[in-house]
Amino acid sequence: MTAVEDRPGDVIQDSPSGGAAGRELGRARRRKEDGRLITGRTKWTDNIVLPGMLHLAMVRSPYAHARITSIDTSAAQGAPNVVAVLTGRDLDDEQGGLPNAWPVTPDQKAPRHPALAVDEVTFAGEAVAVVAARTAAAARDAAELVDVEYEELPVVLDLEEAVTDGAPLAHPSLGTNVSAHWVFDSAEAGTGDDVEQAIARAREDGIVIERRFRQQRLIPAFMEPRSTVVDPTGEQLTMWSATQIPHILRVMLAMVTGIPESKIRVIAPDVGGGFGGKLQVTPEEVTTLLVARRLRKPCKLTETRTESMMVAHHGRDQVQRLTLAATKDGRVTGLKVDLLADMGAYLGLVTSGVPILGAFMFNAIYKFPAYRFECTNVFTNKAWTDAYRGAGRPEATFAIERMMDELAAELGEDPLAVRERNWIRHEEFPFTTVAGLEYDSGNYEAATSRAVELFDYEGLRREQAERRERHDPVQLGIGVSTFTEMCGLAPSRVLGSLSYGAGGWEAASIRMLPTGKVEVVTGSSAHGQGHETAWSQIVAERLGVPFEDVEVLHGDTQVAHKGMDTYGSRSLAVGGIAVVQAADKVVEKARTVAAHLLEADPADIEFTDGRLSVAGTDKGMTLQEIALAVFAAHNMPDGVEPSIDADAVYDPDNFSFPHGTHLCATEVDTETGAVRIRRYVCVDDVGEVVNPLIVEGQVHGGLAQGIAQALYEEAIHDDQGTLTTATFVDYLLPSAVDLPHFVTDRTTTPSSTNPLGVKGVGEAGTIASTPAVVNAVLDAVRHLGVEDIQMPMTPQRVWRAIQEAVPVAQEESR
């Protein structure tokens, strides 16, 4: 790893900030996991074939809401190679209900959520029966032969309609479409002032801006369709699943099915992306487990892409109403947020908590004194929503960053200047926000000035003015998004105070093998994030062993017995710290042994570059030599067990708060509505960086998804509740031609909440980019009188908004 450490050909060199001899942290190490992935030696769940394995296929409801009146399985049972056909009723004694781990209020309403529907289906695609056959093709063919009769029921699909009187009920048995109502009020919480007063004052002598934003429904669309294999042979049930959460899944499977947890082993082999979409306990997993157990045969269920789009949980889908109060000179004095959040038909694992995560982020990087957040969680007859990259935080960031641009427009000022007037200055950290969180560190000034410089902000503003002046059909717009997010989910006590059902710690173990190799066992469960590489760097640095000698094991509950898995940009900021702590314990244990073997006082043993030596002498041993000596155990100090292996569990004291400034320039063709991203610059501050290459990759991927929300993607249902965007033909996942070349850079403000100073980067790009793009498009056409355009900003929508707008100048002259 020499010449390849930099980024040749890049506008911005990602110069490794570490990289000095022997330093691992900060090096742009090429990833360890690539070897198998680029040669096709990857272990995807769907690759698994076991002796006698049966293939499953689901029978799914074509209706969004219907009563099941009868199911005739006889034709399917008699089809070639079919072994069994089981309905929801057949499995009902065993299937329990799928879990919701986040009862956000004590009186939250949640329907029972069977893996296979029994009496009633409440969204199109819900599974009602399963076929087990000797081949996947036979199972799918037979699924077509299952004859289900339905009696259609009225559907409710629109979020705002769902809360009106007399709206059809998604679950008639609940008597309401409202699942929960959750409020945070800074005056009540004692974290700030009363927002109504702030608004009243602003109405009298200031500025009040009211807006309604629609967060469209999105589909996570990880590239690997979900797949589950269950092997019931042997003493334990083994499940392989394309999941982000093998540990949580194991606990939940035990709770749902009553099978002792100790009899379940869950393995997440190589997993092809998740983005929150595989943070779930699914009907497919539970069904596969129950069928395998009943038939005493290994079973596999791999979904098709169309199934995946229909039933794997969706994301976003909110209506946001905001009222922002400010003084006449553009100081924000209060923000009121009224949210409707679409749960879909059920509460999945964290469905109900996603909008609540956003509650803490609407105030973003600003220090206004009054804040109220109110959220109504609503059922509709659509696939349930749940975590999707950012989970609640992109929605919040979008809203506040749009509002800051609206405020700037109202004031006729530069949006950066208005932000700067309101943001927390770097010398004010740590800063307790109006939402009650303590931001650890940040430097919005530094990130912003670097972004402005890279972007050529002034130059583009000049060009914008020129294009306006000459009424160019192609108008230029500049969009700003200065974001922060809470990463490192999460301090367990905070999760407890929010009624979440579990903690937020992470576990790690380090085993020193007799041959000097090092095994690192992590409770994080990577699915593209590069933990094998990053954790190896941490351990190589901490233990002074070669990077190549570190093996990272994860994603198997029998290997990593404890874990909280991977989501919410938590892996490095929580799991990485557990690795650090385990490494430090290894050194401490080794110190005791070294002192004994070197006949010195433990206090005199120094540890540098993998060697324990007696201070002031040339006597010493390497960690590997000590590992071998401990393995032999011939000469251990009295009362010391022959092991220098160590376990650690880290529960963070606080979240970490990365931030960044994203600037986007778009060209909008006012004659066609076409939008082209002309330049995208982002400067992120994610604290210290273990591997800049991985960080950059996370930013790129996040940007792609956030830009896609702004311009391309939307899950659309027809008026019967059928998803009409269930393939990649209709759901516009961006391809390489749809995305610009990104310019990325970083500033580094170390986190003060953990010993590595790291913050988390998984969701940053997604959170920041959507408002940057939308603000840019609006900035290009605002002078034409356009105030808002619904996402995704398709050419048609942009064109129509321009047609319908009353040009500002015209309006003023009237």
Cβ proximity to ligand FES, 223 vs 736, nearer residue: 223
- 500-559: which residues touch other proteins (CB under 8 A)? 527-530
CA distance 613 to 37: 41
Q: Is 96 left (phi over 0), alpha (psi -120 to 50) or beta?
A: left
In whole angstroms, the minimum distance from the beta carbon of 315 to ligand FES comes to: 17
CA atoms within 13 A on the CB side of 676: 9
x/- map, 152-171, ligand FES, by CB under 6 A: --------------------
Cβ proximity to other proteins, 7 vs 468, nearer residue: 7
Q: Which residue is nearest to ligand FES (CB)?
A: 223
In whole angstroms, the minimum distance from the beta carbon of 693 to ligand FES comes to: 14
Q: How many residues would you count in the chain?
A: 814
2 scored as a contact of other proteins (CB under 8 A)? no
- 220-239: which residues touch ligand FES (CB under 6 A)? 223
In whole angstroms, the minimum distance from the beta carbon of 572 to ligand FES comes to: 19
762 scored as a contact of ligand FES (CB under 6 A)? no
- 527-556: which residues touch ligand FES (CB under 6 A)? 528
Please, what is the end-to-end C-alpha distance for the chain in angstroms? 68
In whole angstroms, the minimum distance from the beta carbon of 273 to ligand FES comes to: 5
Question: Which residue stretches of 178-231 are H helix?
Answer: 186-189, 195-205
Q: What is the DSSP letter of 314?
A: B
Judged by CB under 6 A, the residue of 97, 168, 172, 273 near ligand FES is 273
- 650-679: which residues touch other proteins (CB under 8 A)? 667, 673-679
CA distance 100 to 280: 10
- Residue 299 DSSP SS3: strand
795 scored as a contact of other proteins (CB under 8 A)? yes
x/- map, 746-785, other proteins, by CB under 8 A: -------------------x--------------------
In whole angstroms, the minimum distance from the beta carbon of 708 to other proteins comes to: 9
Cβ proximity to ligand FES, 273 vs 610, nearer residue: 273
Q: Pick from 110, 105, 102: which is nearest to 173 by CA?
A: 110
Instruction: For Cα atoms 360, 534, 32, give the angle at the middle one, nearest 5 degrees.
Output: 135
DSSP string, 520-578: EEES---SSS-HHHHHHHHHHHHH---GGGEEEE-SBTTTS-S---S-TT-IIIIIIHH
Cβ proximity to ligand FES, 464 vs 566, nearer residue: 566
In whole angstroms, the minimum distance from the beta carbon of 274 to ligand FES comes to: 10
In whole angstroms, the minimum distance from the beta carbon of 528 to ligand FES comes to: 5
728 scored as a contact of other proteins (CB under 8 A)? yes
Pull the structure tokens for residue 380. Answer: 């509709």
Q: How many residues bind other proteins (CB under 8 A)?
A: 76
Q: Which amino acid is at 653?
A: D
Residue 41 burial by CB count (10 A; 0-12/13-18/19+): exposed, middle or buried? exposed
305 scored as a contact of other proteins (CB under 8 A)? yes
Q: How many residues bind ligand FES (CB under 6 A)?
A: 3
- 265-284: which residues touch other proteins (CB under 8 A)? 270-273, 275
In whole angstroms, the minimum distance from the beta carbon of 716 to other proteins comes to: 14
134 scored as a contact of other proteins (CB under 8 A)? no
- 223-262: which residues touch other proteins (CB under 8 A)? 223-225
- Per partner kind, with CB cut-offs from 5 to 8 A, the member of ligand FES, other proteins, none near residue 529 is other proteins
3-state DSSP of 700-745: HHHHHHHHHHHHCCCCCECCCCCECCCCCCCCCCCCHHHCCCEEEE
37 scored as a contact of other proteins (CB under 8 A)? yes
CA dihedral angle for residue 126, residue 129, residue 135, residue 140, rounded to 10 degrees: -50
x/- map, 556-595, other proteins, by CB under 8 A: ----------------------------------------
Q: Pick from 263, 244, 245: which is nearest to 254 by CA?
A: 263
- 406-465: which residues touch other proteins (CB under 8 A)? none
CA distance 416 to 397: 16
x/- map, 177-216, ligand FES, by CB under 6 A: ----------------------------------------
Residue 399 burial by CB count (10 A; 0-12/13-18/19+): exposed, middle or buried? buried
In whole angstroms, the minimum distance from the beta carbon of 761 to other proteins comes to: 12
Q: Pick from 218, 191, 171, 189: which is nearest to 65 by CA?
A: 171
CA distance 181 to 339: 10
430 scored as a contact of ligand FES (CB under 6 A)? no
- 491-530: which residues touch ligand FES (CB under 6 A)? 528
Q: Pick from 318, 323, 343: which is nearest to 334 by CA?
A: 323
Give φ, ψ of 340 to 5 degrees: -110, 125
Cβ proximity to other proteins, 90 vs 745, nearer residue: 745
Residue 741 burial by CB count (10 A; 0-12/13-18/19+): exposed, middle or buried? exposed
269 scored as a contact of ligand FES (CB under 6 A)? no
State the residues that interact with ligand FES by CB under 6 A: 223, 273, 528
